[in-house]
Amino acid sequence: MKSKSSDSSPLIAVLMGSASDAENLEPAREVLTEFGVRFEFKVLSAHRTPDHTLRYAEEAEGRGIEVIIAAAGGAAHLAGVVAAKTTLPVIGLPIKTKALNGLDSLLSIVQMPAGVPVATVAIDGAANAALLALQILSIKYPEIKAKLGNYRQELQNKVLQAKV
């Protein structure tokens, strides 16, 4: 899985609006590690570090990043701000909040204006965000496509072998 800049460059960026979101992102880390795809985790805030966030989004592709997962809760503007500054695919991951159980996050991410799309997964759906990122990469990387096929087959086998 060679990226543009170097063999050690991450292909997927997993951004979180706050360090407190890291626990919610562990399922994404587990999936990406299981698939052996290079990734990086980074804390960036659309509101508290806007200049750094914008710069990161603008420079991501040049560093070899091919897909960005942006997780945030509450106002959850991280995915939209990142998507506004890059043409890379951005996957929004709404994080559950105390106030509205993540509905605020979900609605904030999913209501992007025309021309600046953000794919959105379920509230706290970190594993699916990682799997969607892998599906996007599988268009270019046959080894990821093969691993996804095996993963799906394992899921099917677990269901068919389930004892009730």
**CATH code for the domain in which residue 133 is found:** 3.40.50.1970
What pLDDT does 163 receive? 93
Would 4 be classed as within a structural domain? Answer: no
CA 127/CA 42 separation, integer angstroms:
17
Would 53 be classed as within a structural domain? Answer: yes
Q: Which residue matches tokens 């626990």?
A: 23
Would 151 be classed as within a structural domain? Answer: yes
Q: What range defines the domain where residue 68 resides? A: 12-160
Would 145 be classed as within a structural domain? Answer: yes
Q: Name the E strands within the chain.
A: 12-16, 39-43, 67-73, 90-95, 119-120
Given a contact cutoff of 8 angstroms between Cβ atoms, the answer to whether 45 and 18 are in contact is: yes
Would 6 be classed as within a structural domain? Answer: no
Q: Could you give the number of structural domains in the chain?
A: 1
For residue range 72-82, what is the model confidence (pLDDT) as tens digits?
999 999 999 99
- Tell me what percent of the residues of the chain surpass a pLDDT of 70: 96
Would 2 be classed as within a structural domain? Answer: no
CA 90/CA 80 separation, integer angstroms:
8
Would 3 be classed as within a structural domain? Answer: no
What pTM does this model have? Answer: 0.94
For residue range 39-59, what is the model confidence (pLDDT) as tens digits?
999 999 999 999 999 999 999
Sign of the alpha-carbon dihedral angle for 143, 145, 151, 157 = negative
Would 84 be classed as within a structural domain? Answer: yes
Residues 6 or more apart whose CB falls under 8 angstroms from that of 164 comprise none
Beta bridge partners of 41: 14
CA 112/CA 97 separation, integer angstroms:
20
Residues 6 or more apart whose CB falls under 8 angstroms from that of 114 comprise none
Residues 6 or more apart whose CB falls under 8 angstroms from that of 3 comprise 9, 10, 11, 38, 64, 65, 66
